[in-house]
Amino acid sequence: MTKATEMQKHYDKFLNSGLTRKNYCEKHNINVYTFKYWQSKLASKAKSIFLTIQISENSEPMASILQLEIQYPNGVKIKSGLDFEIIRQLISLV
């Protein structure tokens, strides 16, 4: 197993562990600075994910704003609201 493969497995486990980087490294006997290096290297290779959203003309009027939250692996969160009418207008431009 290459070092990159090994660290990718650790990185994936870390993201799902709920532990701090320091605690994860102590638990798995990994140097914190080495892990930080690999974390930044692997996070920069993360793939983008595109989702298809379909909005029908007869959508329920229960909510005209879609709440969107994105959380990055480093813990940064972005919260935003998307107005369906603006989305319809943008789609119609295509």
pLDDT digits (tens, 9 = 90+) for 79-94: 777 676 766 666 666 5
Q: pLDDT over 90 for what percent of the chain?
A: 23
How many domains is the chain partitioned into structurally? Answer: 1
Full-prediction pTM beyond 0.85? no
Q: What is the C-alpha separation between 32 and 24, in angstroms, rounded?
A: 9
Average the pLDDT over each of 47-51, 60-64, 68-72 and give the range with the smallest value: 60-64
Arithmetic mean of pLDDT over the chain: 76
Higher pLDDT, 56 or 9: 9
Q: Environment class of residue 45 by beta-carbon count within 10 Å: exposed (0-12), middle (13-18) or buried (19+)? A: exposed
Q: By residue range, what is the domain housing residue 71?
A: 3-92
Whether pLDDT at 41 is above 70 = yes
